[in-house]
Structure 1
Amino acid sequence: MRGGTTSRAGRDGERADIPAAPRRRARWPRILLGIGLTLVALAGLAVVGLRALTDRYDRTVLKEQLLAPDARTGRTDLSGPLNYLLIGTDRRPNDTNPEQRADTILVVHVPAGLRQAYLVSIPRDLLVTIPAGSGYPGGQDKINAAYEHGGGGEPGAQLLSSTLSRLTGLRFDGAALVDFAGIRQVVDLLGGVRMCVDGEVRSIHTNRVFTPGCHQMNGAEALDYVRQRYDLPGGDYDRQRHQQQLLRALLDRASETRLRNNPVKLDQVIRAVGGSLTVDTNGVALEDLLFSLRGLPPDSLRGVQVPSYPQVIDEVSYVVLDNGGNGLFDAVRGSAMPAWVGANPRWVVKL
């Protein structure tokens, strides 16, 4: 796709020399809530307690068919390896706002044995071929537009999953669609999170200045920090890294506060998360899924970025794959992620 053209180049309005206007709300944290709860909040609970909590949680989340048939594994075996698609969007179920792009896309890869997890951030501006669907004729665009072209909600998630599956060759064992509600409350319920800032960052939303060093941040501060990408040395790549670091910080903080031993606070977190989450468990009972993943410790997480580089096409900024992703998607499809991570340290994020 080097030097190519796109039939939808002008839709995003984000030209190389003019930063796009900031979105109203952060997108990525919605993802953190679903996976964070799965990985840590229920870890270590007795079976009886787990069943009681998952029953309550099961009744708070919306269930839809988020995966297209060609993007779904169709299997219910939870022994691994497992791949889950997590999508963040501003759109709530009854929101009629036409701006429905999914600006956070994350693949969670859990190898066999279920003792480690890789968080693969898909660049929001990645240039891809989106197949026809839901009235959209098909064409090239940024991957975050697939959700919009599908009409948002369930059909939008299906078109996005189909787009990503065709690009990577992956089929998914489940998916989650999460909106903004709850993340600030969850961070505050945990008493804030500890985030380490590499270099000075000035918020384009609040003019808050984040100074280098490790800081205890409340929900509003953490969300503001990880939304930033302009004026950062690595741009959106730095933002992806900060997003993944906040997930680790949330898991660490939940462990420190012994959330699983505090039923009142755990119930508050569950209620904060549940209203923000739509899930597709691929036919697996939510209780079984949470029980299978309960043993993943926070230090088992590895952040991964897709080998890619920015390119301007028709005066619009895109991201294009570097050498087809440099074998990353082959590794995710199989059992080679540890070897790939060892051979590609440039694209591995320290969490």
Structure 2
Amino acid sequence: METWVSEGGKGAGRSGRQTVAVREARSEGAGPDGDWPGGGRPIREGRRKKSVVPRWARLCTIFGVVLMVLSGGSLLGFEAIVARYEGAVTQEDLFGDAASGSVQEKKSDIKGPLNILLVGIDPRQPTTPPLADSIMVLHVNASLDSAYLFSLPRDLVVEIPPFKKANFPGETTKLNAAMSFGSHNPKKELPDAAQGFELLSLTVSKVTGIKRFDAGAIINFSGFQKIVDAMGGVTMYIDQDVRSEHRQPNGKPRTLKPGGGGYLGPQATYKKGTHHLKGWQALDYVRQRYPKNGVTDGDYGRQRHQQQFVRAMADQALSKDVVTNPIKLDKVLTAAGKSLIFSGRGHKLIEFGFALRNLRSDSIQMIKLPGHGVFEGGKYKGEAFKPIAEDFFAALREGTVDTFVMSHPELLNKVK
């Protein structure tokens, strides 16, 4: 029997630094920054090499989303910054490899093609089961110098497979609920986002046919505000006039209507054109999804804006203002580290960054996968992909995605 849900399931999971609590998906009010504890490593003393650092990786996290973006330049103290950053990132087994005995020994290098699953959450209450607000896949080609980034609608109607760890029998419902169902652990008090990610990855594999993800990350949306502020803001093109559901023009939260059902007061407005946004503005803009506020294509528009934001963050992180300023770079990487849980399935985050050293922001193509609403008895139940999305997934699996996208340019999200 099929059931339909838009609320998170109930459950509990392990506590500690691995625990990440998130808000209910439809409640898009601003949550706390939710920084996770992270510590820097001691700086190693040793022979200083010539200060010409190879093209290196940095983390540009979107709503993170977070991509490995690469920069060049001679940075004094760069090794020390990397060591501090690596220690600040929470690294966990997000795919259940340890329990299944499938952890492989670290290889000497990372080879393409790669598929990296990026999940954005918005923390709120520690007892609230996590729902995936943003689900993205970064597909990197075999030569590791170009990539495609595509989003999966959080309301996509899917079959979530059974998951014994959470005593979950399986269900047909919205994709974003997979993380909530998977986070349940009857032996623990609080929801476990890492375990929830595992079930979400299994579900995304069923949807896309991607048998194995090479890495994954959980990104704290609220932490993005600190990343953008650490960079000095982000310049991006806003492709339509958008009004904020949640924020006033001064950045303060709007007042809830008595009894709920909306907000009162003036709305922050984002006009079409190129603008330099502060952290709170960037985060607020990419959260908007309601047609009444100018996002005419709803959640598909929000996906597009999120992808544009990722690209803008990558461009900003690669700018000379960040790359050649060790103090600012340190602030950016530290803020990113506190906003991220990463699994490289045997490889460190920094190693992935080095492997992607030839990947540039302008070589990452943003893909839009069209869909339509699913209705039952006139009632909205979620979203479904149009057939071309299945063709795209097939091309991805078969290694013919470049040719496929050239034949279907309408799938490209243009970024100014």
Matches within 5 A, 1:275-290: 275-290=338-353
| SS class of match (1:182) | helix
Matched, 1:89 2:149: no
Instruction: Name the aligned partner's letter for residue 407 of structure 2.
Output: A
Give the whole-Å Cα distance in 1 for the aligned partners of 2:273 and 2:307.
18
Distance of 2:207 and 2:161 partners within structure 1: 11
Distance 1:313 1:12 in 2: 21
2:2 is aligned, of 2, 6, 9, to 6
* Structure 2 residue identity aligned to 1:153: A
Aligned with 1:35: secondary structure? strand
Q: CA–CA distance in 2 between the matches of 1:306 and 1:6?
A: 25
Structure 2: which amino acid aligns with 1:221? Answer: Q
Any idea what the Cα deviations from partners look like across 1:200-231, whole Å, max 9, x if unmatched? Answer: 21111121122222111111111111111101
C-alpha contact (below 8 Å) 2:154/2:175 kept by paired residues = yes
Paired with 2:235 and 2:103, the residues of 1 have a C-alpha distance of: 37
- Residue 188 in 1 paired to residue 240 in 2? no
35, 41, 54: which one pairs with 2:66?
35
Matched residues in 1 for 2:64 and 2:180: separation?
22
Q: Work out whether residues 225 and 279 of structure 2, in 8 Å CA contact, stay in contact via their aligned partners in 1.
A: yes
Q: 1:30 to 1:79 in 2, by over 3 A?
A: closer
Larger RCO, structures 1/2 (Cα 8 Å, 6+ apart): 1
Match of 2:180 in 1: 148
- Aligned residue for 1:266, secondary structure, equals helix
TM-score by length of 2: 0.73
Alignment of 1:63-142 (within 5 A): 63-68=91-96, 76=107, 78-91=110-123, 96-133=126-163, 134-142=166-174
Q: Paired residue for 1:58?
A: 86
Matched, 1:345 2:409: yes
* Residue 6 to residue 73, structure 1, CA distance change in 2 (3 Å): farther
Contact 2:217 2:341 in 1 (8 A): yes
Distance 1:50 1:166, change over 3 A: farther
The alignment partner of 1:224 has SS state of helix
What aligned pairs does 1:153-302 form with structure 2 within 5 A after superposition? Answer: 153-170=193-210, 171-206=212-247, 207-231=267-291, 232-302=295-365
What is the alpha-carbon distance in structure 2 between the residues aligned to residue 191 and residue 22 of structure 1? 25
**1:10 CA displacement:** 5.7
Equivalents in 1 of 2:297, 2:217: separation in Å?
28
- Partner amino acid, structure 2, of 1:262: N
Deviation at 1:328, TM superposition (A): 1.4
Number of aligned residues: 335
Shift of 1:99: 4.1
Q: Does 1:321 align with 2:395?
A: no
Q: CA contact under 8 A between 1:68 and 1:162: conserved in structure 2?
A: no
**Are 1:68 and 1:161, in contact at CA under 8 Å, matched by a contact in 2?**
no
**Distance (Å, rounded) in 1 between the aligned partners of 2:392 and 2:205:** 14
On the 8 A contact 1:73/1:172 being kept in 2, the answer is no
Cα 1:137–1:208 change in 2 (3 A) is same
Aligned residues of 1:7 and 1:141 also touching (Cα < 8 A): yes
Alpha-carbon distance in structure 1 between the residues aligned to 2:307 and 2:373: 21
Distance 2:319 2:325 in 1: 12
User: Residue 329 of structure 1 aligns to which amino acid in structure 2?
Assistant: F
Compute the displacement of 1:88 (Å). 1.1
- TM-score where L is the length of structure 1: 0.86
Q: Percent identity?
A: 36
Change (3 A) 1:25 1:6: farther
Gap change, CA 1:6 and 1:345, over 3 Å in 2: farther
User: 1:20: how far off?
Assistant: 4.7
Question: Is this contact kept in 1: 2:115–2:213, CA < 8 A?
Answer: yes
Q: Distance in 2 between matches of 1:188 and 1:132?
A: 41
- Amino acid paired to 1:331: A
Query: CA 1:148 to 1:30, structure 2 compared with 1: closer, same or farther past 3 Å?
Result: farther
1:22 aligns with 2:62: no
8 Å contact kept, 1:187–1:193: yes
Identify if the C-alpha distance between structure 1 residues 334 and 39 changes in structure 2 by more than 3 Å, giving closer, same or farther. farther
Q: Is the 8 A contact 2:63 2:221 kept in 1?
A: no
Query: Which residue identity lines up with residue 136 of structure 1 in the other structure?
Result: F
The structure-2 alpha-carbon separation of the partners of 1:277 and 1:9, relative to structure 1 and needing over 3 Å to count, comes to closer
Q: Closer, same or farther in 2 for the Cα pair 1:47/1:67, shift >3 Å?
A: farther
Q: Which has the higher helix share?
A: 1
The alpha carbon displacement at 1:324 in A equals 7.0
Larger radius of gyration: 2
Match of 1:16 in 2: none
1:168 Cα deviation from its structure 2 partner:
1.6
